[in-house]
Structure 1
């Protein structure tokens, strides 16, 4: 009956550790140690509890050393001692401790997995691979052995075998954070960006505070956003960029992408950005000495000048109409009212036509050949020159006496 009660309290401690409540687990172990101070298993379990509390590795090492002193034939105590030694940057001593645990229990896959951890940490992938395979011989689905096998194969540049092992890990542990993280990493390596994002997002759902998964997911989401923007899928691109922003608020690259996407949503801003990109391409062609670039440069400058001159041209048109409609001018031209109205209409129409052509140039540049636009400009300049010449002749002709 006493043994049954002991098993129950140990199960309670392990359950509290599984639900991430090490403080309550420690209280339960210490209550047991108060009445059983020489219980080696209780000291061993207290060491495990302290290993789950950050910053208490030294205290855990002392407790585990005491447990080994009480019962040196307990393999778990040597395993826990190996963990504390590796965390305190003593890999050689950690390797000796795990070898002692394997001597006492040579069929435990967990011990083989942790020995592979130590060997990979010491950058010995070939022995780590052999140890991981030995552990998998006893437990084919052991998570740590599978993961350490993947790490060793990647270090040995045996990517195909590593990919196969990732598939095995995912089949044995389909709801594991590690499985989805490795699947996302492998999908990104193979260029399957959407699948990589899906697996990494599932990994973050399983382990929301994993900075490793967040850092891996950020560039994947940015790449998906840029691809969606190039395809013209603005809403999809916006969703990807905002997901990246929520992962890392304040990231300057993500902020720039969102701002550029917002700018492209405005017609005028989008046209100006396209004009800017086109002008850069023209300058690049000018440096190469391409004759066609000079014509393109002229066609870029005309709309730019038109945009800056629009307010001035509108002011001049308003002043002309206002002067024509002044009472004194109307009285002086009463005898030729129809001619005056026709002339005003002609001038206003010509001005509006010029303004319309200048504004429309930006819209035509992407679809109309440069030669056609140049021909229209020459025609407009010719008509304007003829009209100005006729007006000068009228004003310079002598008045009858």
Structure 2
């Protein structure tokens, strides 16, 4: 009876999402009220970049099985991929309410909270997941990331070392450790961690971005730009916009206030110039890493 779903699961594991979707639709023709089939279909559709249909399928799964935590968890993932963070957070919290003993649910909530810039709550969620499963690698990574963003570097390093101990091929953990070293001013060790992460996974985005920053930090002047970016990242984007807006208004009253937004613009220009300069670096060219 469920042979179509069995085929679909195998096809999903092989990343053959279009064929998997076809098998799932065949199953839905037989059993249109299968919440599991709708949830599986949403996974295929989001991978096929059919976002609206993916959301509809995930919501249909929730409608058919509102008391099943997995349907809410799946909806949260689908919404997170689409950067609908507020709705994703609500769905993840509902999954936790229904079944509060699953570390994966807290990990997803932590991911969403980090994306929202809520570092303290992201740390709390990751730690709640670790209370349920002390060896949960994703929760360890997320705890380290939250601590990194809170500038609690020593704790972040201890946590990321625990993640690597649990999984020596944890590419994300090496990337996070690289960023810890970078913010602590140890460029050589940071670059070594980023290279190890890229060795394990050449597409690891945090490591790709990090190694570009490490290469630019060879130039002393860029240290000021890097430190400014680190400081400004601690301030919510909306507050930064308000801050610049206030100085622009004040500049109409006194030209000296123009120095603030002008200096910020100058830093952005300097960042772009260093990205251009990096293209002449032989190490960067050998990595084929795009600058941002």
Tell me if TM exceeds 0.5: yes
Secondary structure of 1:137's aligned partner: helix
Q: Deviations over 1:130-160 (max 9, x none)?
A: 2211111112222332222123222332221
Correspondent of 1:17 among 12, 35, 45: 12
2:45 to 35, 47, 50: 50
Whether contact under 8 Å (1:194, 1:224) holds in the other structure is no
Tell me which of 58, 68, 72 is aligned to 1:74.
Answer: 68
Q: What is the CA deviation profile of residues 246-283 of structure 1, one whole-angstrom value per residue up to 9, with x for unaligned ones?
A: 334899xxxxxxxxxxxxxxxxxxxxxxxxxxxxxxxx
- Quote the offset at 1:75 in angstroms: 1.3
User: Aligned ranges for residues 203-218 of structure 1 at < 5 Å?
Assistant: 203-218=197-212
Partner Cα separation in structure 2 for residue 76 and residue 69 of structure 1? 12
1:150 matched to 2:144 = yes
- TM-score w.r.t. length of structure 2: 0.68
1:186-236 per-position Cα deviation (integer Å, ceiling 9, x unaligned):
33344544443333223223332345433322353577899xxxxxxxxxx
Tell me how far apart the structure 1 counterparts of residues 4 and 181 of structure 2 sit (CA, whole Å): 44
Task: Answer yes or no: is 1:201 the counterpart of 2:189.
Answer: no
Runs of 5+ unmatched residues, structure 1: 227-240, 252-401
**Structure possessing the higher relative contact order (Cα contacts under 8 Å, 6 or more residues apart):** 2
Pairing 1:1-400 to 2, within 5 Å after superposition: 6=2, 10=5, 12-53=7-48, 55-221=49-215, 241-248=281-288
Measured after TM superposition, the shift of residue 56 of structure 1 is 1.8
Aligned 8 A contact 1:75 1:101 in 2: yes
TM value normalised by structure 1: 0.51
Change (3 A) 1:86 1:209: closer
SS in 1 for 2:66: coil
1:261 corresponding residue in structure 2:
none
Q: Is this contact kept in 1: 2:42–2:78, CA < 8 A?
A: no
Task: Answer with 1 or 2: which has the greater Rg.
Answer: 1
